[in-house]
A = this chain, B = another copy of it.
């Protein structure tokens, strides 16, 4: 509403964003941030970009020990990477158990092929994937998207939690493998190869 004084309004939005970012426990989209600080999305976008620069030391201040990152579809405060070890020691963090190679490959297939059924994944990997799918579900990395009305097969897709775990903001940021896939596309789409 008081959009006449551009500079103070911007600073104001940035300060309110800082307050909100301090309490959130999930990535917040620009829209959700805009609602929270009662400002239009473009102003919030500008303020967020300003804060990123600010914390990265491209403003008047120093490069902070924390940073503002866009991950998993939203913005959150992170410890800057160079201090990760220090913080790990302090919080005595346990390294979470790693995913098996089979789980990683299955996850990759689901990420690129979603929505995809278990039998489609199995035919790409040529092995049974049931237990691996269960692990990925329990980790919250994949989710059931919908059930095929005709076959009753469940279609799986990846979650925002996967994006967060990969440190990316959207599936578009996955590396390109389409050239390889196009080669192989014909034939196996017909799915009853066994």
Contact = CB atoms under 8 A, between A and B. Distances in A.
B62 A19 contact: no
Contacts of A77: 22
B127 A25 contact: no
A66 B141 CA distance: 32
A79 B15 contact: no
Contact of A62 (B11, B134, B151): B11
A167 interface: no
A62 to B, nearest CB: 6
Interface of A: 11, 14-23, 25-26, 35-38, 54, 59-66, 77-80, 83, 86-87, 89-94, 122-123, 126-128, 130-131, 134, 137-141, 151-153, 161
- A17, A128, A137, A161 pick with most chain B CB within 10 angstroms: A128
**Which 7 interchain pairs have the tightest Cβ spacing?**
A128-B140, A18-B65, A19-B83, A61-B61, A19-B65, A15-B65, A94-B152
A14 B93 CA distance: 20
A90 B11 contact: no
A86 B37 contact: yes
A90 B36 contact: yes
Contacts of A161: 128
A18 B21 CA distance: 15
